[in-house]
Structure 1
Amino acid sequence: MHSSTAERHARFRLLRERSPVHFDADIGGWCITRYDDVLRVLDLDSGAPQPLPKRAITHALKLTRPVITLATLELLDADDVTFAHSLAATAAEAFTLAHGVEAFAATALETTRAFLTNALAALQEHPDQATLLRTDPSTTRDAVEELLRFDTPIPVAPARRTPVPVVLSGRTVEAGEVLVPLVAAANRCSVRFPGGDRLDLRRKPVGVLSACPTSTALARVTGEIALVKRLRAVAR
């Protein structure tokens, strides 16, 4: 695992264990790291664009799939960085055109690019898991969900402000305070995901959290289409 990623998750683990509702003076708000707490905070209004309805996302993804497939095949000989960045750009553009809502364009690009970059790095660092995915495509959906959980592409969701006092992990945060949901920390919470610091593509994780469900839907489908093809091309 890249040192910066490993260090980030080491800090997250320390916060989950010792100070799950932690005030950070530099950001002027409370960092929230445990799964149940983050889930509760995500229900608060952040002021960001609301996720698209599931029907709209499904329709947009249906139109986008052929574009992602073609781009994947065209990029198989590229290096990992070019593959991730170019495929993400193509997927985000097609997705934005399909649903016609510009509000998610930048986030769709950022999320998909980060997911592909993180996933390829994790698979390179865990060759046994890469072999599993390459040789058993039936694991693809669970594998993509596990990769989203293991190294969440957008680690911090937009901050929320408490409309009323809220109790998180036994601490009362007063109304008007800023809450920063660290979704990447929550996705490794061992209470929700036992052995959360371990990558296990057979895990079948349920309830993986994301900073933006709309853009994560695009990242998920892109991974389902592209990762096995990429692994098989590299193995040739």
Structure 2
Amino acid sequence: MHFDAGIGGWCITRYDDVLRVLEIDSGGPQPLPKRAIMRALKLVRPVITMSTIELLDADDTTFARSLAATAAEAFTLSHGVEAFAATALETTQAFLTNALRALHEHPGQAALLRSTPELAGDAVEELLRFDTPVPVAPARRTPCPVVLSGRTVEAGEVLVPFVAAANRCSVKYPGGDLLDLRRKPAGVLSSCPTSTALARVTGEISLVRRLRAAAR
């Protein structure tokens, strides 16, 4: 962690420290209850599947943008909370864009996922970890003194959690700079659990189909 005068706050990068900072209320919309998220995702799965099939011949940019828009709209309609519409769209589009780029840059991993579709869940989690769609979470202000990396940060200080750095923390994820779809990474951090849940499901449904269509 280090103090950045330009932003007037502390930049936090270690996994354990970022995890603790994310537990501080950012003042933004609170994540939906897990049950509400799961119910909404169940409803949007068929919509995501159909949109994926319709977009298989599109280029990567159109695929990511259009599929994310459809998924985010269906997700928002399903749970009825407009506050997450923009972040659902942004997170899902960024995840699909990052994931497709990473798979193009790692053809061996792409071939593994194409031939082993049962890896989809773990693969999506690893792709979220490897290139986090929202790399920096909203800043928090400490409500009371907090100890991070052995340093006491007083109440009222600004903390900026660098989620992307935490997800490549070598202590939490040895070899974290390498993409490994068999890693089964536990505890991958995200800036917004609600929107990241949609990105996960969209990736699980679409990426294998996309890779197989590209190989035709």
Tell whether the structures are fold-level matches, with TM greater than 0.5: yes
Q: Which amino acid aligns with 2:195?
A: S
Aligned residues: percent identity? 83
Tell me which residue corresponds to 1:114: 94
Aligned-residue Cα RMSD (Å) equals 0.5
Structure 2, unmatched stretches of 5+, are: none
1:40 is the counterpart of 2:30 = no
Residues 100-127 of structure 1 show CA distances to partners (whole Å, capped at 9, x for unaligned) of 0000000000000000000000000000
Quote the Cα distance in structure 1 between the aligned partners of 2:59 and 2:191: 28
Tell me which residue corresponds to 1:207: 187
Instruction: Report the Cα offset of residue 167 of structure 1.
Output: 1.1
Count of residue correspondences = 216
Instruction: Report the Cα offset of residue 235 of structure 1.
Output: 0.3
Q: Which amino acid aligns with 1:138?
A: E
Quote the Cα distance in structure 1 between the aligned partners of 2:46 and 2:7: 42
Quote the Cα distance in structure 1 between the aligned partners of 2:147 and 2:50: 49
Tell me which residue corresponds to 2:109: 129
1:169 is the counterpart of 2:161 = no
Q: Which amino acid aligns with 2:199?
A: A
Quote the Cα distance in structure 2 between the aligned partners of 1:175 and 1:50: 22
1:55 is the counterpart of 2:55 = no
Structure 1, unmatched stretches of 5+, are: 1-20
Residues 29-71 of structure 1 show CA distances to partners (whole Å, capped at 9, x for unaligned) of 1110000000000111110111000110000001100000000
Question: Equivalences for 1:71-150 in 2 at 5 Å?
Answer: 71-150=51-130
Tell me which residue corresponds to 1:9: none
Tell me which residue corresponds to 1:3: none
Quote the Cα distance in structure 2 between the aligned partners of 1:72 and 1:33: 35
More displaced 10-residue stretch of structure 1: 200-209 or 162-171:
162-171
Quote the Cα distance in structure 2 between the aligned partners of 1:166 and 1:158: 18
Tell me which residue corresponds to 1:16: none
Runs of 4+ that moved beyond 4 A: none
The two structures have a TM-score, normalised by structure 2, of 0.99
